[in-house]
Amino acid sequence: MDLLKTVEGKDIPIKTRGILFLCALNVQEKKIKIIKELLYDSAFDALNAYSNIHNPESQIVQAGTFQELIERKKRLLDNMKDEKWIKSLIDAI
């Protein structure tokens, strides 16, 4: 996956500081899938949107710089492939 693009293949603008990942969790298979990415120019706006959704399996990354945001996105995507991380998410929900 190209980290500079959304799951839909669109470029992530350099001014982006928050990404909200709307996800679907398959508990039996211990897999999580990104359904949609919502991009925000402000980390606060991303957090505000995240706090107002009723989907506990969704995830968020925020950063002060574009480079940090992409690094955190990579870390999250790596975690989403880790069975231990997914189990921890399931337990938390």
Strands 59-62 and 18-26: antiparallel
Q: Where are the beta strands (DSSP E) in 1-93?
A: 18-26, 31-40, 59-62
The pLDDT score that the predictor gives to residue 1 is: 59
Q: What is the pLDDT of residues 15-62, one digit of tens each?
A: 999 999 999 999 999 999 999 999 999 999 999 999 999 899 999 999
pTM: 0.91
Q: In one letter, which amino acid is 70?
A: I
> What are the phi and psi torsion angles at 15 (to 5°)?
-80, -5
Per-domain boundaries in the chain? 18-92
Retrieve residue 38's tokens. 């919502």
Q: Would you state the torsion angle of the CA atoms of residues 37, 40, 78, 26, taken in this order, to the nearest 10 degrees?
A: -40
The pLDDT score that the predictor gives to residue 7 is: 82
Q: What is the pLDDT of residues 57-88, one digit of tens each?
A: 999 999 999 999 999 999 999 999 999 999 99
